[in-house]
Amino acid sequence: MNKMIKKAKTYDYRNYDPARCRNGGWYGFWTTYELSNESELRLGLDTEPLYAVSYGTTAEFSYCEYCGSWGGCSCSCSKTPEHITEKRLLADMRRVEEDPSPERWSEVSEEVEITPSADWVNNIRRRCEDALRRCKDDRTIFNAANLLGVNMEE
């Protein structure tokens, strides 16, 4: 795989005034996107990057990082981050960049090279095989060995 975005942000400061950005009603907002399945991508368990979305503001009032609404922990959202695809992340960033307002922008703050590691996968496989050899339950050994494609006679 090529480099992919590990962390990105979009900003909306169209209604921002530095003198009134904490409690005066003229706030800045941002959305943060963080790669949430990097390990699975490295192992080849996932093929598409997923990003956890969180929200922030310059206001000093309670603000929910999970849904981007006022009220913080008292809002009615699930309190878990939304996960989106890379396609959606790129569309969100493109939409912000296409806005003619200079008070809206996006940035990629971190990238990562994801190449599934054969050494890492082989190490996990070896550890699974060792654990199976120490297991005392024949049925578990048989089922797990079949799923892993392991020859237990070695």
pLDDT in tens, 64-89: 999 999 887 677 888 899 999 999 99
Which is more confidently placed, 115 or 93?
Answer: 93
pTM above threshold 0.75: no
Q: Is 27 a domain residue?
A: yes
- What pLDDT digit, counting tens, does each position of 5-32 carry? 999 999 999 999 999 999 999 999 999 9
115 three-state secondary structure:
coil
The residues that bridge with 110 in the sheet, in sequence order, are 7
154: in domain: no
Note whether 35 and 97 are same-domain residues. Answer: yes
Give the separation between CA 74 and CA 116, rounded to whole angstroms.
Answer: 41
Assigned token pair, 109:
């703050």
Q: Is the pLDDT of residue 98 over 60?
A: yes
In a domain, 153, yes or no: no
Residue 92 shares a structural domain with residue 63: yes
- Judge if 49 and 86 occupy the same domain: yes
Q: Mean pLDDT of all residues in the chain?
A: 86
Q: Is residue 48 part of a domain?
A: yes
121-127, long-range: CB within 8 Å, 24+ apart, which pairs?
121/43, 121/44, 124/43, 125/150
Q: Which two tokens stand for residue 3?
A: 């480099």
User: 123 and 68, same structural domain?
Assistant: no
Could you tell me if 56 and 123 lie in one domain?
no
Q: What average pLDDT does this structure show over 115-120?
A: 66
